[in-house]
Structure 1
Amino acid sequence: MDNPFRYRVFYTVRQKVVTSAVVLALLAWGTLTAVRHLTTPEDRSCAPGVARPAGSDECVGVATAGDGYDFGQARLTAVTAAIGRENAALREGHYATVALLLPLTSTSPGLREKVAHELQGAFVQQYRANRQNNESPKIRVVLANTGKDNVHWRTAVEQLKGMTGAPHRLRAVSGIATSSAAVRSAVGELTGAGIAVVGTTITADDIANGPGGLRFPGLARVSPTNGDEARALAHFGRVDAAKALLVHDTRTGDHYTETLRAAFSDLLARSPYEPQLFTSAEDPNAEGTTANTFRQITHLVCDTRADTVYFAGRHTQLRQFINALGARGCKDRSFTVLTGDEASYLGADPQLDRSALDAGLTVRYAALAHPDAWRARPGYRPPATGGSAAAYGEFTRLLAEVSAAPAGPIGPVSLADGQAIIAYDGMATAVRAVREATPVGGRVPPLADVPRQWPQVKGSLKVAGASGWICLDNYGNPYDKAVPVVQLTRTTPRFVAMAWPEGRPPAADCLPPRRP
């Protein structure tokens, strides 16, 4: 028997009209929602000035608010919050902005640590500058993210170029941490727009100015070039070229490896051995197949009479090479590997076979800074010139102060890789230029006058950095900058000795000589 209730409720004329109206309303709502979804752009913003580019989940650009945004990186949260608190205390119109341009969302474990330490060091100097004898202008810091492998450098740079007016009054950019083609382009764009740039850890010889011309007008550097590092290592080691060989990367477009290879090649002009070659992946942080290549190269190294190997390559490949040498067949022979500052990444690399360092293998590198380089202790007295224990002591005192409330915390601190130290000095150099360019009675210097300060940063006007004296030549390059030679160990990298590009520390006047 049919259900009478069903018949009455669902088959009446009234119910048919109501049902039709509901269905039409639902269809209209669905259509409107679909159209709105298709025609309304997706909100890809992360924070003021920061967004996710199409096809990417990275938040890139400039955090223009300067309020402590951490780009979604938990390891940066404490130090970015400290920077945000410092910025919030500044009076509107009484500050100049310095941007830190870095790959803040890098996926490389070593680079992530480096970036965190650089932010810490830069903040220590911002904190110091804003309490220094009531000098002006005060310094506001903003963070600019170029993304993994600096792929999105142009996004950040274009924003920075538009921040020279109010309210930001951008007057300098520091950071500039890797010697890559992307960074070279970024430096060219910024300096071409008249913005002063201070490179912290760029060491490539071709991201620099020189007698051949000002390719990057307004660029200053606080680290020695690869050429200077190589000369410092040569003076330190007195290596017999007849018993040395070169292992180098053949990948093109990497200014760090190319200029380091050229510098080492000059040192080994009398070596009887042709270089051993490898080619890293397009992404130098990728493992690729180079581990297999190094296993073969190790056999060839054992076939020579060499006892010293110069290595020109990035840290991932250096680690693979060290691991291969640790498993070499000729363990009855000892070898020393000499390389550039990229080795500083390996101190915290979990994939490094540390037992290799106990098997007759010594790995030493030219560091940019080290916590023991200027610290007097039994058996070691720092050089009388080229830097000072007092300047380094001022840095560590301030670091301890900002590591706790109210200025801090700033996150776990490690000085072993030297990154916090060199970033502190990079910011100090930027602050010096900003303040020296400020007219008497003025609040903020003219943009064009800031990069004009570099030729005067020398002699009694040098920057007494925590990494050593920064005495710039007329091209913005540090003259005879201290180069700590550091040795990898099973635990913390160990300071060995100080080396100098000129073979000895600079004179007390720290005035670069006239160059041809």
Structure 2
Amino acid sequence: MGWLREIWEIRLYRYVAVVVTVALVTGLYFAVRSLAHDDRACAPGVVRPEGSDDCVGVSSTAYDFGRPQFRDVVQAIDKENDRLKDGGYVTVALMLPYTATTPSTLSDIHHELQGAYLAQWQANHAANGQAPAIRLVLANPGATSDHWELLVDRLERMTTSSDRLRAVAGVGMSTDNNKKAVAELTRRGIPVVGSSITADDLANGQDGKDPFPGLARVSPTNTDEARALASFAKVTAGKALLVYDRPGDPYTRTLQRSFAALIKGSPYEPQPFTPPADRSQEGTTANTFRQISHLVCNTAPTTDTILFAGRHTQLRQFVNALGARGCQERRFTVLTGDEGSYLSGEKALDRGALRHNLSVRYTSLAHPMAWTQNPPATGGSPQAMRDLSDLLKRAERAPVGPIGQVALDDGQLIIGYDAMQLAVHGIREATPEGKTAPPLADVGLQWPQVKGRELRVDGASGWICLNVHGNPYDKAVPIVELTPEGGSRFVKLAWPEGKPPTAECLTPAA
């Protein structure tokens, strides 16, 4: 019977081997699955923070953050970066919320990204021997900038690595999170060039203080935008009603204060509305605006202006409500800040409202028609806009492009181009002769000298002449109006000082 025992032992060994193999394969399967589940990487340099599905960090590859509309321009940037020689470039990070979800915000980001790339390409290919070359990377703090701390840490490490990061451009909206990010970046000695930030409390020079050392901006403050609006529209206290976001954010609060100062002594109490914390969401403010539209009709017949201090989602709701107001026979003009540009292509906007004695005018950061219709002799150059237009034509195909569908009327491509130009100017002015990179600390020290005929930046949005606090002096402010047919039209250039700067573009003493 020994042979029978051997058979059973063989069968047992085979059975055990199969069981062990199955266990090992199963364990390996679940281990791999667990590792895949725990893998937080989105792309090189970009991760999902714990508890979030948002992809945050700095991308130096052709990664488009899952946004197909960015693909062409991101690939163009990657191609330009690849041709740069190690040790011969410095890096500029374009900080924007690339994973935002609202179509209007993504459209603005797309256009600003295109403008920044065109400035990078121009800096590298029309440099006349100037050094260093410029590498552009994409820095994402999250859809609502919630993960700005993680991003700032990453950017700081890049200042001492082979990346040689020397400036952060962009920033995006004037939100509390972005304000914290700029404060921390500049505290760590990293220069920042704001493109579309306009809030007064996200600027230096307020009350003589500079809480953001090394910050420069290419856009006017809300106060300057309001002053330009007032000089254009001749706003007076007895003819205007203020509607404002309560409690507000840095953009809306400073716009509210600026508007309130313009109509001090108004017979009308300002009307508040309270949006969701995420102001890109609809919330219930449409009901509030329906009620305010009734109050608008109860104002005196001489009241014809509504000053709106709010974000674009709420502005769209307010305009839609005014379109259904009872006093259709009365003409009203809504005046607001640069958030109005988001409505230029907003599909949810009731364009019919603009045919019912209602105009919506806003201060744009830039406009392609500003320097083509009888432009002023100073304050900007038609040639600068022509140079950008020529570059855009070249970007329709290789070797410059393609960069995707282009639009200029929202001003974002233009202002992104100018912010990058200013960053390049600061970097190259700070680079010692014979060196390939400037000291990090010296870049932000260049901003007070960006003025005068030779040292100003001739931006496509107008001359960029900075005061000692890094804010543009008497920057051109295009007044733009939404049209019932869709899009917008340029109305007129306005100026915070009531007139353009002189040819010298020197800022006066405070």
Q: TM-score range by the shorter chain?
A: over 0.9
Aligned partner of 1:471 among 457, 465, 479 = 465
What is the match of residue 443 of structure 1? 436
Equivalents in 2 of 1:468, 1:512: separation in Å? 15
1:462–1:470 Cα contact (<8 Å) kept:
yes
What is the match of residue 5 of structure 1? none
2:235–2:262 Cα contact (<8 Å) kept:
no
Aligned partner of 2:160 among 165, 189, 200 = 165
Greater shift in the superposed pair: 41-50 or 466-475:
41-50
What is the match of residue 99 of structure 1? 93
1:22 CA drift (Å): 2.3
Equivalents in 1 of 2:434, 2:148: separation in Å? 36
1:232–1:502 Cα contact (<8 Å) kept:
yes
2:425 paired with 1:432: yes
Equivalents in 2 of 1:217, 1:456: separation in Å? 15
The correspondence of residues 147-158 of structure 1 with structure 2, limited to 5 A, is: 147-158=142-153
1:496 CA drift (Å): 0.3
The correspondence of residues 115-514 of structure 1 with structure 2, limited to 5 A, is: 115-131=109-125, 132-210=127-205, 212-252=208-248, 254-305=249-300, 306-375=303-372, 380-460=373-453, 461-490=455-484, 491-514=486-509
- Structure 1 outlier segments of 4+, above 6 Å: none
What is the match of residue 3 of structure 1? none
Secondary structure of the structure 2 residue equivalent to 1:248? strand
Greater shift in the superposed pair: 70-79 or 218-227:
70-79
Aligned partner of 2:81 among 81, 87, 91 = 87
1:442 CA drift (Å): 0.7
AA at the equivalent of 1:246: L
1:67–1:85 Cα contact (<8 Å) kept:
no
1:247–1:276 Cα contact (<8 Å) kept:
yes
AA at the equivalent of 1:304: T
Gaps of 5+ in 1: 1-7
TM-score (norm: length of structure 1):
0.94
Equivalents in 2 of 1:341, 1:26: separation in Å? 64
1:19 CA drift (Å): 3.2
1:23 CA drift (Å): 2.8
1:438–1:445 Cα contact (<8 Å) kept:
yes
1:298 CA drift (Å): 0.3
2:44–2:61 Cα contact (<8 Å) kept:
no
Task: Give a deviation string over 1:239-266, Cα, whole Å, max 9, x none.
Answer: 23202110001034x1000000000000
Q: What do you get for the CA RMSD once the two structures are aligned? A: 1.7
Task: Give a deviation string over 1:352-374, Cα, whole Å, max 9, x none.
Answer: 00010111000000110001001
Secondary structure of the structure 1 residue equivalent to 2:144? helix
Equivalents in 2 of 1:340, 1:455: separation in Å? 26
2:51 paired with 1:58: no
State the percentage of identical aligned residues.
56
2:332–2:357 Cα contact (<8 Å) kept:
yes
1:68 CA drift (Å): 2.1
Equivalents in 1 of 2:436, 2:9: separation in Å? 80
Equivalents in 2 of 1:49, 1:366: separation in Å? 37
2:193–2:419 Cα contact (<8 Å) kept:
yes
Greater shift in the superposed pair: 52-61 or 463-472:
52-61
1:244–1:307 Cα contact (<8 Å) kept:
yes
Task: Give a deviation string over 1:440-497, Cα, whole Å, max 9, x none.
Answer: 1111001111000001000121000000000000000000000000000122210000
AA at the equivalent of 1:434: I
Specify whether residues 362 and 38 from structure 1 end up closer, same or farther in structure 2 by C-alpha distance, changes over 3 A only: closer
2:116–2:419 Cα contact (<8 Å) kept:
yes
1:37 CA drift (Å): 5.8
1:67–1:88 Cα contact (<8 Å) kept:
no
What is the aligned length? Answer: 499
2:39 paired with 1:43: yes
Specify whether residues 33 and 438 from structure 1 end up closer, same or farther in structure 2 by C-alpha distance, changes over 3 A only: same
AA at the equivalent of 1:341: D
AA at the equivalent of 2:263: L
Specify whether residues 87 and 20 from structure 1 end up closer, same or farther in structure 2 by C-alpha distance, changes over 3 A only: closer
What is the match of residue 76 of structure 1? 70
Specify whether residues 361 and 50 from structure 1 end up closer, same or farther in structure 2 by C-alpha distance, changes over 3 A only: same
Equivalents in 1 of 2:414, 2:12: separation in Å? 79
Equivalents in 1 of 2:336, 2:32: separation in Å? 58
1:157 CA drift (Å): 1.4
AA at the equivalent of 1:119: L
2:418–2:459 Cα contact (<8 Å) kept:
yes
Task: Give a deviation string over 1:183-225, Cα, whole Å, max 9, x none.
Answer: 0011011111111100000000000110521100000000000
1:17 CA drift (Å): 5.2
AA at the equivalent of 2:74: T
